[in-house]
Amino acid sequence: MGRHSCCYKQKLRKGLWSPEEDEKLLTHITKYGHGCWSSVPKQAGLQRCGKSCRLRWINYLRPDLKRGTFSQEEENLIIELHAVLGNRWSQIAAQLPGRTDNEIKNLWNSCLKKKLRQRGIDPVTHKPLSEVENGEEDKTRSQELSNELNLLNSESFKSDEGSYEQSASSIAPKAYDMEGSSSSKISSKNDTNLIANCSNKDLFLDSYTTSCQPSDLMGNYPFQITDTLPTNSNSCHWFTPTTTTRPFDVNSEFSSNVMSILPPTTTSFLPSTSFCYKPSLGVPPEDSSISAASFAMNGPNYWEAGAPDNSNESNTNDGSKELTSGKYSVLSSWGLTDEAKWSEYLHNPMLMLAAPESLCNQIKPATHLVPDSNTLGAMLLPDSKEQPQQSQTSRIFSKDIQKLTAAFGHI
């Protein structure tokens, strides 16, 4: 613990980067890539620590960065993502191509928080300030949690739309601890909680939309439950966009563009009913260059517009080979960053949202057919030596499973 070793080194420059330093770093990374960051400064002839170089590259020099002010759509997206993910800036940034976590964090702290407060919304909980101030939150949350657990234990949960409307606001465990300042760090290490918070979402939307009821949300979140495996206690309910509605209305300052979903990685081993998102047939967006953001906005309607592209997939019978690549080769074609890794997908509901059908089709068996951690672990077990990333991801995944199993016990 303590300071990073490089920070002890003397003679290292600190503070703002000069154009010369930028040039050196840019040239070096363009030529050779960054490789080991700790060796970059030496190789590039910089009096900086590796961390500093990395930060400079990620936040400023990276060629795919989008500079300039945030659009209204981006701000909306950030607000809603924050409602779901909390202060997980890196995950939020992953949904905004060209934006960095630092940039988003700064925007949030300097601007968006204020905006929310002005609108009577607590930026931490995304609930009305009045409610938070009244100190009813704890009671409410306790009650909601209790309801959630009851529902999770209940076998009576039906997969029809009506029951969703009835249950959606209470089915999802809290997405994260929205109250603690260190919540993000805690929650980021327990993806169990990474679940769209319907209750908060409802409140959030209520604050920005006109008389938005859960049933209305079904319109805003154009889903319907189309599939379920009722015989399985871990049945996974697929939301399918019911219309070609753009979930993100650019004309609405605070429209709903983040769907209430559970992350597939988590849903698979939630002890009871889980929700996953399944893309459905729809109208493809006009622009064929799909970015993660546009997937978040248009994606669900797009994915099934064409046949699944299996060209990049390995044919397997067990559906496990799709995890063969550390960097999913399709990602770049979506406009996602090259750095997107499978592990990020597995832990990132929004990336999963943006996944094309070819990917979803592969994930689907994982969520449908894996009732317990053992099966899931077996499915994800690395099956060959030439797939180190898969192996790594699987190990990580398996760890999560173990944690979740331990956390949930055998509900």
Partner DNA sequence: AACGAGAGCAACCGCCGGTCA
Partner DNA sequence: CTGACCGGCGGTTGCTCTCGT
State the minimum distance, in angstroms, from the CB of residue 405 to DNA.
Answer: 16
Q: Does 60 bind DNA (CB under 7 A)?
A: yes
Distance CA 336, CA 355 (A): 10
Contact between 46 and 22 under an 8 Å Cβ cutoff? The reply is: no
User: Per CB under 7 A, which region of 101-109, 155-163, 276-284, 375-383 contacts DNA?
Assistant: 101-109
Distance CA 344, CA 392 (A): 12
Amino acid letter at 383?
D
Stretch (H or E) spanning 209: none
Give the number of C-alpha atoms closer than 13 A to the C-alpha of residue 63, restricted to the C-beta side. 8
Q: Does 13 bind DNA (CB under 7 A)?
A: yes
Binding mask 145-184 for DNA (x = CB under 7 A): ------------------------------------xxxx
Distance CA 303, CA 25 (A): 39
User: Per CB under 7 A, which region of 260-268, 270-278, 299-307, 390-398 contacts DNA?
Assistant: 390-398
Distance CA 36, CA 186 (A): 28
State the minimum distance, in angstroms, from the CB of residue 364 to DNA.
Answer: 26
Among 76, 91, 266, 273, binds DNA (CB under 7 A): 91
Q: Which is nearer to DNA, 25 or 152 (CB)?
A: 25
State the minimum distance, in angstroms, from the CB of residue 362 to DNA.
Answer: 23
Binding mask 16-35 for DNA (x = CB under 7 A): xx------------------
Stretch (H or E) spanning 225: strand 223-227
Distance CA 231, CA 223 (A): 22
Q: Given its phi and psi angles, is residue 68 left (phi above 0), alpha (psi -120 to 50 degrees) or beta?
A: left
From residue 274, how far is each of 17, 231, 232, 242, 400 by CA, in Å? Answer: 48, 13, 11, 19, 17
Q: Does 220 bind DNA (CB under 7 A)?
A: no
Q: Which is nearer to DNA, 110 or 317 (CB)?
A: 110
User: Per CB under 7 A, which region of 48-56, 222-230, 260-268, 300-308 contacts DNA?
Assistant: 48-56
Positions that interact with DNA (CB under 7 A): 1-7, 13-17, 36-39, 48, 50-52, 54-56, 59-60, 69, 87-91, 101-103, 105-107, 109-111, 114, 181-185, 188-189, 392, 395-396, 399
